[in-house]
Structure 1
Amino acid sequence: MELSEIIVQKIREAGPVSFKKYMELCLYHPDLGYYMVPEHPTRPAGDYYTCASLTPVFGIAIGRQLEEMWNCLNRSVFTIVEVGGGPGLLCKAILSYLRRNKPMYDRLRYYIVEKNAHTSCGPEEDFDQKVTCFNSLKECPAIEGCILSNELLDNFPVHQVVMQDELKEVFVDYRDGFVEILQPAGKELRNYFSELNVTLPENFRTEVNLAANSWMRDVADVLNKGYILTIDYGYLSSELYQPSKSRGTLLSYYKHSVSEDYFSHIGRQDITSHINFSALIHWGNKYGFRNCGFTLQCYFLLSLGIRDIINEMLSANKNVVGASAKAAQLYHTLLMDMGSRMKVLIQEKGGCCKNLSGLKILYRENRRPFTESDRACCK
């Protein structure tokens, strides 16, 4: 049975489903969901790529930040928990870098949390002894170290809401095709905006990622002391609810094409929305975390010496045809392209140092977009 038929059957049996439930089935149905099938979407023929799938340079930069975090935690046993680790590309790059630091590497553990049973978990060969795999964050033992995620939270199923005479939630019905209907929003959705002190204008449509708030609670249960490093697409509340985003941020990706058609290619297209970093900070505070800083990925990477890392790569491959052009392309992608759109949030628990190297250049909403002239800002 096709996934679309399964969803139609659920609607006929129990009535309209929330958009959140519809999105959850599209992405995470155990057998037919987009993220649960054997073919991983970050492979070259997939619908998208991540910085980690492009180059190990990205993982090396993150490794530098993790190394500093280890120093802040008195160089004791340090556990990295990568949630949504996929095939382990980021893990392999990080471990390759950290292996140079023997005192840290000897005290290092690496957990990958990945719910797709078809995805190979972690690097092979001599890294295996460092990597342990789990199906969910709740399975992990308590740790000191860092909870790391890269492009994870934007794929959590979200509620869609529209402000009319009152806050309405979007549900999905089936009438010779999938259609949207509106129903009064429940208390949890109304409280979400009250807690963030947000009032939506009339006819404003947006997403509510309650799963991200629950995720923060799960992180708090696992992390005794250390950091959360979140890299993702998103905004602060002050940006997310501007008139320019009155249609929301939800998008579908199918074979490298982008649309707002969520009811086609069911189970075969990605559906994502930008996350609310203000919500992560707010609920993080509730669960005992403190904000270290929020910045653009380009500023984060520049602060960690991405220029030197790429130059080292270029030097090591100077005899390879096209190495220089590849290095230039990497610089553009990591900084100018994805780096100007991706955000980085670091939070700490347990009184750890907040003055981290990756946060030398903090993001300010009124700062112009990253340009070529910004390349020199971390010299």
Structure 2
Amino acid sequence: MLLPEIIIEKIKNEGPISFQDFMEMALYYSDLGYYNSKQDKIGAEGDFYTNSSLSASFGAMLGRQIEEMWQALDKKTFKIIEYGAGTGLLCHDILDYLKTNADLYKSLTYSIIEKSTSMREIEKTHLTEKVSWHSSIQEIPQMNACILSNELVDNFAVHQVVMEDQLMEIFVDYEHGFKEVLQPANAALITYFEDLNVTLPEGFRTEVNLEAITWIKEVAQWLKKGYVITIDYGALSSELYEIQRHLGTLLCFNKHRINDNPYQFIGEQDITTHTNFSALKDWGAKYGLKYCGLVNQANFLLGLGFKEYQDRLVKDKQSNVQLALQESIINYRLLMDLGTKFKVLIQRKGVSDYPLSGLKFINSAQNLSLNRF
């Protein structure tokens, strides 16, 4: 049975399902959901590019930041935990860079939390040392750690809501095609906006990522001493709920083409929404994570010496003009294109304030804004 047929049968048997349930099935249903299918997802033959799929330099810069975090943690036994490692390229590039620090590399282990069986198989083909795989962070013994996610939170299944006389949740029904119906929002959805001090205007449609709250709670409670790095595209509450975003932020990616219709290509396209960094900061604080800073990806990379690192690589490749040109194009994408869209949030627990190079060029106005929401 095809995935759309399975979803239709569920609706016929149980009645309309929440959009969150629909998105969860579309992305993660066993063997048929987008992330559990065997189709190419990342790169030229897939549906989208990631930071790590563009250049190994991205992983090297994260390696530099993690190296500083290890130093802040007194250079003791250290673990990197990556959620949703994709093809494993980022893990490979981080480890490859950290091999230059023998003391750190010797004391280091790397754990990947991956619920996609197909992606786990891909990762294992080229990650042959230092790496273990897990279904939950609870399987991993606690130690000094950096918990890393790159383009993870945007793929959590979200609830969709619209403000009418009261907050209404969007459910998915089926009658000669998928259609949306409204039901009064439950207490968890209403409380989400109250806690963020957000009032939606009438007619405003948006998403609520309750899974992100569950995730940051789990991360914060597991971590005793270390850092959390969250990289994703998204914004603060003050930006996400501006009137120009009254239709929400949901987008779908299929063969490098963008659309806003999640009810087509079910199981064959990615479905994403913007990450609310205000929510990650606020709920992280409730569960014990201290805020270090939020910066866009370009400034994060520049603070870590990305340009100097890339200039050295290009100089080494001067004999091959084509490779040098390709590296320059990658630089543009990581800094000017994705670099302005993606944000990097760093939080800490059990560690005193320590100057992190990735936050060197942090925008003070942005942080003042963040602290208000």
- TM-score, normalization: structure 1? 0.93
Counterpart contact for 1:237–1:278, Cα < 8 Å: yes
**Counterpart position of 2:102:** 102
- Matching residue's letter, 1:230: T
**Counterpart position of 1:193:** 193
Q: For 1:173, what is the secondary structure of its paired residue?
A: strand
**Counterpart position of 2:331:** 331
Q: Which runs of 4+ in 1 moved over 4 A?
A: 121-125, 364-367
The question of 1:228 aligning with 2:207 is answered no
Q: For 1:239, what is the secondary structure of its paired residue?
A: helix
**Counterpart position of 1:340:** 340
Distance 2:229 2:154 in 1: 15
Distance 1:296 1:39 in 2: 31
Distance 2:252 2:118 in 1: 23
Residue range with higher mean Cα deviation, 218-227 or 161-170: 218-227
**Counterpart position of 2:370:** none
Q: How far did 1:313 drift?
A: 1.5
Counterpart contact for 2:72–2:351, Cα < 8 Å: no
- Matching residue's letter, 1:328: S
Counterpart contact for 1:149–1:231, Cα < 8 Å: yes
**Counterpart position of 1:277:** 277
The number of aligned residues is 366
Question: What pairs with 1:186-265 in structure 2 (closer than 5 Å)?
Answer: 186-265=186-265
Q: How far did 1:318 drift?
A: 2.2
- Matching residue's letter, 2:256: H
- TM-score, normalization: structure 2? 0.95
Distance 1:88 1:255 in 2: 21
Counterpart contact for 2:233–2:275, Cα < 8 Å: yes
**Counterpart position of 1:54:** 54
Note closer, same or farther for the CA distance 1:161–1:228 as it changes in structure 2 (3 Å cut). Answer: same
Distance 2:258 2:313 in 1: 33
Counterpart contact for 1:65–1:356, Cα < 8 Å: yes
**Counterpart position of 2:371:** none
Q: How far did 1:121 drift?
A: 5.9
Distance 1:257 1:363 in 2: 32
- Matching residue's letter, 1:117: T
- Matching residue's letter, 1:192: Y
Q: How far did 1:260 drift?
A: 1.3
In structure 1, list runs of 5 or more residues that go unmatched: 368-379
Q: How far did 1:199 drift?
A: 0.6
Q: How far did 1:262 drift?
A: 1.1
In structure 2, list runs of 5 or more residues that go unmatched: 368-373
- Matching residue's letter, 1:247: L
- Matching residue's letter, 1:33: G
Note closer, same or farther for the CA distance 1:364–1:16 as it changes in structure 2 (3 Å cut). Answer: farther
Q: How far did 1:352 drift?
A: 3.4
Question: Percent of aligned pairs with the same residue?
Answer: 48
- Matching residue's letter, 1:154: D
The question of 1:314 aligning with 2:314 is answered yes
Distance 1:172 1:269 in 2: 18
* Residues 45-71 of structure 1, C-alpha deviations (whole Å, 9 max, x = no match): 111010101110000011000000000
Distance 1:103 1:236 in 2: 38
Counterpart contact for 2:225–2:350, Cα < 8 Å: yes
**Counterpart position of 1:18:** 18
Counterpart contact for 1:77–1:107, Cα < 8 Å: yes
Q: How far did 1:316 drift?
A: 2.6
- Matching residue's letter, 1:183: Q
Question: What pairs with 1:154-169 in structure 2 (closer than 5 Å)?
Answer: 154-169=154-169
Q: How far did 1:128 drift?
A: 2.8
Residue range with higher mean Cα deviation, 134-143 or 165-174: 134-143
Counterpart contact for 2:72–2:354, Cα < 8 Å: no
Q: How far did 1:44 drift?
A: 2.4
Note closer, same or farther for the CA distance 1:116–1:207 as it changes in structure 2 (3 Å cut). Answer: same
- Matching residue's letter, 1:270: D
**Counterpart position of 1:74:** 74
Distance 2:302 2:191 in 1: 38
Q: For 1:133, what is the secondary structure of its paired residue?
A: strand
* Residues 184-226 of structure 1, C-alpha deviations (whole Å, 9 max, x = no match): 0000000001111111111111000000000011112321110
Counterpart contact for 1:252–1:272, Cα < 8 Å: yes
**Counterpart position of 1:375:** none
Distance 1:290 1:221 in 2: 13
Q: How far did 1:349 drift?
A: 0.5
Q: How far did 1:40 drift?
A: 3.8
**Counterpart position of 2:87:** 87
Q: How far did 1:113 drift?
A: 1.2
* Residues 257-300 of structure 1, C-alpha deviations (whole Å, 9 max, x = no match): 11111111110011100010000001000110010000100000
Distance 2:303 2:102 in 1: 24
Distance 1:263 1:314 in 2: 44
* Residues 331-369 of structure 1, C-alpha deviations (whole Å, 9 max, x = no match): 1001000001000000001133342110011136679xx
* Residues 125-177 of structure 1, C-alpha deviations (whole Å, 9 max, x = no match): 7x633111112333322231100010010000000000110000000000110
Q: For 1:129, what is the secondary structure of its paired residue?
A: coil
Q: For 2:67, what is the secondary structure of its paired residue?
A: helix
Distance 2:352 2:363 in 1: 21
Note closer, same or farther for the CA distance 1:342–1:141 as it changes in structure 2 (3 Å cut). Answer: same
Distance 2:261 2:54 in 1: 28
Q: For 2:128, what is the secondary structure of its paired residue?
A: helix
Q: How far did 1:122 drift?
A: 4.3
Distance 2:295 2:66 in 1: 17
Distance 2:23 2:232 in 1: 19
